[in-house]
Amino acid sequence: MSYLEYNVKTVPAGLRKILYINWPIVVLLTAIASIGFLMLTSVAGGNMSRWAEPQMERFVAGLVVMFIVAMVPIWFWRNVAGLAYGASLMLLVVVELFGDVGMGAQRWIDLGFIRLQPSELTKITLVMILAAYYDWLDVKKVSHPFWVAIPLLLILLPTALVLVQPDLGTAILLVAGGGIVMFVAGVSWWYFAVVVGAAVGLVSAVFSSRGTPWQLIKDYQFRRIDTFLDPSQDPLGAGYHITQSTIALGSGGWTGRGFMQGTQSRLNFLPEKHTDFIFTTLAEEFGFIGSISLLTLYGLVLFFCIVAALQNRDRFSSILILGIGAAFFLYFAVNMSMVMGLAPVVGVPLPLVSYGGSAMLVLLAAFGLVQSAHVHRPRQR
Amino acid sequence: MKQTPKNLELSARIISRRSLVLGGVQLAFLGMLGLRMRQLQVEEAEQYRLLAEENRINMRLIPPARGVIFDRNGIPIAENAQNYRIVIVREDAGDVDEIVARLRALIDIDEVELERSLREMSRRSPFVPVTLADRLSWEDFSRVAVNAPALPGITPEVGLSRHYPMGEDFAHVVGYVGPVSDYDLSRIEDPDPLFQIPKFQIGKLGVEARDEEILRGKAGTRRIEVNAAGRVMRELGRDEGIPGADLQLTLDYRLQNFSKARLAGESAASVVMDVETGDILSICSSPSYDPNLFVRGISGPDYRALTENKYRPLADKTVQGTYPPGSTYKMIPALAALQDGKITPQETVWCPGYYQLGNRRFHCWKRGGHGHVNLNRSIVESCDVYYYDVAQRVGIDRISEVARDLGMGTRHELPMSGIAEGLAPTRQWKEVRRGEPWQQGDTLNSAIGQGFTLASPLQLAVMSARIASGRAVAPRLVKSVDGVEQAPPEAPPLSINPQFLALIRKAMHDTSNSRSGTAYRSRIVEVGMEMAGKTGTSQVRNITAAERARGVSSNADLPWERRDHALFVCFAPSDKPKYACALVVEHGGGGSAAAAPLARDILLFALYGEVPPLTAYPADQRERIGTLLSELDLMAPIVPGPGRSRA
C-alpha cells in the first residue's frame, strides 16, 4: 500500500473538494464539447434537435458523472480496479454472445436507457488495472520478464475479444493505450523496441494472409487499408471517404466557408458526417483557424494532465492520469490522422465532438478519475 | 507489496522522466497534425478549393417512381403524371432578380409562388436547387428550354407528380401526398436521403401515408462531375434505385363513385363490405374534397372553405366518425340474451310505451307502446322496451362482450388515417374513465345503442357482415402488393350459436320485407336479392320531460345540428348474403326515411355491378327512383386499355 492512507488528513473533505478540482481541465472539456454542439447543428442543416440537443443532454449527464467520480476517494477506485476490469471483460463476452449487431459489428448492449459499448469501458478499466498493478509491483521488478508478461496478458485479453467483434480501431487503441501505461511505469526501452519489431511482423502477416482461408481481418478492413495506401485508384468507390474528406479539409482554407456553408459535407453525402467524419465539417466551415484551435484545446488537455501527473506523488494516481490522458490523445490523434489521410479509416470517433452517448459518458467518467486523483493527491504537511 | 521509500523515490523519478518523454512524443504528434492541417488548408487550399468547387464530384439522387394505387379492377386511383418545372440554383444564377425578370418575360409565374420560392432560396445554401415554377404547360416548358443559354442557373426539369384521376371519390381513403415538411422531418427517426430533394412528395394521409414505405421505393443515385457553372460535365455512374411497389385495393371505383353521388348533399358515410372475404368495396364519406388541391399546395381561401363547411368535408366519417348506433345495435343484446338463455325466441315482453326503473321512466320511441313483443317483432318494429328488459337480464358486461365479438369497440386495422376505436362500454370502463359507478339506467341506454355506446360506420358494416356470414370477418383494403395477391384475413366462426344468428337474420329480413317492418318502404322486390336490414335513429340531444309532454318535436323543426342521426345496417341477398352495408346520415332524421333508401341503392349497385334496373324496386316507387337515379352525377365506366392496368 502506498503512503496515501496516512496523509489522509491533509486531503480536503466534504464539499470543499470541489474547490480542489482541476478546473482548467473542466473548462477545456466544455469548450471542446461546445465546438461539437456547433458542428452537430451544422451537419443537421441547422436543426438543433436532431443531434446537438441529445448530445448536450449527454454532456451534462457526463459532467455530473465526472463530479460524482471525482468526489469518491482515489484509493477506492484503486481498490475496485480489478473488479472493474473483470466486469468489463465479462461485458465484452456478453456483447459477443448477445449484443446487437450495428454497422456490421457486434458492439452494443442495449440497457434500455443507454446503449453501452463495453469496448469503450474497457479502454478505461484497462488503464485502471494496469495502474493498480504497477502501484502494487515493486518498482525494481517492472522490467523482469515475468512481471512484464502479466500486464501484457491483461492488455491482450480484451484486445482479442474486441478483435473478434470485429473492431480494429478499438483494438489498436487498447494495445497502444496499454503500451503507454507500461512505458510510463518504467518498463525497459528494449521491450518496446521488440514490440515494434513484432508489430511490423504482424502487419506483414496480415497482408500475406489476404485471400487465404486463415485471413486475419475482414475484407472491408483490407479495402480500407488499400484505400489509405492509394485513395486515388478508386475515387468514387472505396476511396470516396478519404478523397472527399481531404477535399473538404483543404477547401476550408484559412478561415473556412462559414457556419453551415460547407459544400462538401452537405452536397457530397459524406457518410458518418456526424460521427467519425465530423472534423471535416469543422475544417471546411471554420478553416485552418478552426481546426488548429480544436487541436490546441486537445493539446492543452494533455498538458494539464501531464502537469497533474507530475504534481501527484502517489504512484497509482500518476500512472492513471497519464494513462487516461494517453487514451484521450489516441482517440483524437487516430481520428484526425484518419480524416487527414494520414492513417487508414478505422472507426474511431473524435472525442467529445462526434455524436455518440456511451463514448462521451465513459470519457467524462474517466476524467472523473483524473479529478479524483487530483483532489485526493497526497499533500505536504 | 509495500513500496519502500526508496522505491517511491525511484518511482517518482521514472514517472517524471517518462511522462516528459510521453509529453514530448504527444507534442510532436500534435505538431505533425498541425503541419498537415497547414499543408492541406493553407498551402494546398487553392487546389482543394478548385477540386471542391470547379470540378466537384456530385451525387444526385434520382427519385424513384411512386407506386401506383389501383382499384380492384386494375383502374388507377392514384398515378404519377409528368410534371414540367423550372428549378434555379442561386450561386449559378449570379443576379437572381435579373434572371427571374428574364424568365418572367417568357412565361407567367404566379406572384405568390415566386415569393415563396425566393424566400426558400434565401433560407437554403446557395447551391441547393429551388423550384421556381411548377406544373408548366409543354409550350412554356419548351420556351424556357430553348432559351436556356440566356438563363444561367435555370434548369428545366421533367419530374413525376402525383395525380388522382378520380378526384373527390377516393379522397378520404386513399388520402394524398405533399412535399416533405419540417414537421415530417422532425417526426421521422432516420430520414430517407430522398427528403433532401426539393418538394419531394410523401404520403400525408390515408393509404398514401400508411403505406408510404411500400409506395415510396428506394432512391437511385447519379454520380456526376459538374463544372463551375453547375453544368453537368459527365455522368460517372448510375444506380437506378427501385421504384415503389404498386398497391391494388379492394375498392371498386364504380361503386365508390356511385356511393359518393348517392350521398351527395348529405353529411353522410357509407361502407360496403364483402361478407365472406371482408373486402371493402366502397368506403365513402360525404361531402368530399379534391386531393389534387393538396398535392399542389392548397390555397388559403380553398382551405378555409373546407374547414368552415359545417358538413366537415375533411373529416373521414367512415372510420374517424363515431356515432351512437341507436337501434342498429339491438341485434347485439338480442344475441347476448339468446346465447345466455336469458330469453327464448317466443317469449314476449309487454310494452306499454315505457319501462319503469325505480322512479325513472325509459320511453319507447312508440308512445302508445307495442303491446306483446317477441324477439322477431322487437327487431322488425324496433321496440325499445323489449331491449330495456332484455338488457336488465343479461347485464352490460356480457352485452359489450358480444358487441366486441361482432367488431364493436375495437380498432380494425386498415391503412387509413385516424381509425376510431368506438366504445362498447363496461362497468370497469366507466369506473376507470369516468370515476363513477355504473348505473342500471346506463345499461338500458347502452342496450339501445345510446348513452356511452359509440360505433363508426366501418364497425357497423363489420357487425352486419359478421351477422350475415356467422364468421368473424375482418375488413381489408389491400388486395395485392406489387402484383402479389394478399390472403384475406382469417375469419373463424363466431362463438354464437348459428341457430340464433339465423333467427336474427330472419328478423332483419322481415324488417324490410314485412308490412310492419321499419324499413318496409326500402325493400328490394327482385326475387333472390331481398335485403335484410335494421334501422337506427340516434339522438344527439336529451329529450326533457317537458318536451315529451308537449309531444316530441319533429326533426324538421329543429336546427340541423340538433336533429337525430339516421342509420341503417343491411346485407343482401338475405338468404345467401354477399354484401353488407352500413350507412349513417349525420342529423338526417329517421333511419328508415333518411338512411335506408340510400343504403338500398348502394347495395343494389354492388349486387348488379351497375346502376340497378327499376324492376328491383317496388312498383309504386319506380318512377320516382328512375328520375333520381338518372339525375345522379356518375362517371362513365372506364374500359381498361392495354398498358393502363399494371396490377
Nearest to B58 among A268, A295, A315 (CB): A268
Angle made by CA atoms A157, A158, A164, in degrees to the nearest 5: 100
Least confident of A122-136, A190-204, A316-330, B538-552: B538-552
Q: How confident is the model at residue A333 (pLDDT cuts 50, 70, 90)?
A: very high
pLDDT in tens, B22-58: 999 999 999 999 998 888 888 777 777 666 654 456 6
Contact: A248, B19; criterion CB under 8 Å: no
Please answer yes or no on whether B3 and A264 come within 8 Å at the CB atom: no
* pLDDT tens readout for residues B342-377: 999 999 999 999 999 888 899 998 888 999 999 999
A-chain residue closest to B128, CA distance: A267
Nearest CA in chain B to A182: B18
Residue B3 has pLDDT above 70, yes or no: no
Taking CB atoms and an 8 Å limit, are A254 and B45 in contact across chains? yes
Q: A188, A247, A255, A350: best mutation site toward chain B, by most B Cβ within 10 Å?
A: A247
pLDDT value of position B158: 81
Instruction: Give me the half-sphere count of Cα atoms (radius 13 Å) on the Cβ side of residue B172.
Output: 26
Calculate how close chain B gets to A167, using CA atoms only, in Å: 24
Mean pLDDT along residues A261-270: 55
What is the number of residues in chain A? Answer: 381
Which of A30-39, A317-326, B312-321, B545-554 shows the lowest mean pLDDT across its residues?
B545-554
Q: Do A251 and B15 touch (CB under 8 A)?
A: no
ipTM metric: 0.86
Catalytic residue among B270, B327, B480, B522: B327
For the cut 50, the answer to whether the pLDDT of residue A106 exceeds it is no
For the cut 50, the answer to whether the pLDDT of residue A11 exceeds it is yes
B282: pLDDT strictly greater than 90 = yes
Question: Which one-letter amino acid corresponds to residue B534?
Answer: K
pLDDT at residue number B180: 83
| pLDDT average, residue stretch B407-429 | 92
pLDDT at B512 over 80: yes
On the question of pLDDT at A60 being above 60, the answer is: yes
pLDDT at B542 over 90: no
Residue B185 pLDDT grade (very low, low, confident, very high; cuts 50, 70, 90): confident
Question: How far away is chain B from the Cα of A125, in angstroms, using its nearest Cα?
Answer: 20
Angle at B599 between CA B598 and CA B602, to 5 degrees: 90
Nearest to A341 by CA among A197, A181, A228, A179: A228
pLDDT of B420: 92
Residue B327 annotated in active site? yes
pLDDT, residue A2, reads: 47
Among A199, A203, A200, smallest CA distance to A222 is for: A203
Q: What is the average pLDDT value for chain B, to the nearest integer?
A: 87
C-alpha to C-alpha distance for A24 and A297, rounded to whole angstroms: 11
> Cell 303491446 appears where?
B371
pLDDT > 60? residue A236: no
pLDDT on residue A327: 92
Q: Give residue A104's pLDDT.
A: 41
Please answer yes or no on whether B33 and A295 come within 8 Å at the CB atom. Answer: yes
Task: Judge whether B608 and B577 are in contact, CB under 8 Å.
Answer: no
Residue pLDDT, tens place only, B114-147: 888 888 777 766 666 788 887 788 888 888 888 8
Give the span between the Cα atoms of B77 and B80, in whole angstroms.
Answer: 10
Smallest CA–CA separation between B324 and chain A, in Å?
A: 43
Dist CA B391 CA A152 (whole Å): 81
Return d(Cα B456, Cα B399) in angstroms, integer.
18
**What's the pLDDT score for residue A103?**
43
**What integer pLDDT is reported at residue A240 of this predicted model?**
62
Given a contact cutoff of 8 angstroms between Cβ atoms, the answer to whether B332 and B494 are in contact is: no
Look at residue B412 and give its three-state secondary structure: coil
- Residue B423 pLDDT exceeds 60: yes
Q: Are B326 and B537 in contact (CB under 8 A)?
A: yes
More confident residue, B546 or B8: B8
Cα separation, B289 vs B311, whole angstroms: 12
Sequence-separated (6 or more) residues with CB below 8 Å from residue A23: none
Kindly state the average pLDDT of the residues A182-205: 86
Rounded (10°) CA dihedral A301, A307, A312, A315: 80
Torsion of CA B48, B50, B51, B54, to 10 degrees: 160
| Predicted pLDDT of residue B553 | 60
Whether A250 sits inside 8 A of B45 (CB atoms) is yes
- Residue B139: enclosing H or E segment and its boundaries? helix B138-146
Partner residue opposite A249 with nearest CB, options B16, B41, B237 = B41
d(CA A261, CA A240): 21
Comparing B257 with A345, the larger pLDDT belongs to B257
Q: Look at A315 and B22 and tell me if their CB atoms are within 8 Å.
A: no
Backbone dihedral angles phi then psi of residue B479, each to the nearest 5 degrees: -90, -45
3-state secondary structure A189-256: HHHHHHHHHHHHHHHHHHHHCCCCCCCCCCHHHHHHHHHHHCHHHCCCCCCHHHHHHHHHHHHHCCCC
Using CB atoms, which residue from A136, A186, A306 is nearest to B14? A186
Phi and psi at residue B365, to the nearest 5°: -65, -25
Q: What is the pLDDT of residues B464-509, one digit of tens each?
A: 999 999 999 999 999 999 989 998 888 999 999 999 999 999 999 9
| A302 vs B10, B26, B37: nearest CB | B26
Q: How far apart are CA A375 and CA A18, in angstroms?
A: 8
pLDDT of residue A141: 86
- Least confident range from A55-64, A219-228, B12-21, B226-235: namely B226-235
pLDDT for B366: 87
Q: What pLDDT is recorded for position A228?
A: 63
Identify the pLDDT of residue B2.
56
pLDDT at B231: 56
Residue-level pLDDT at B399 = 95
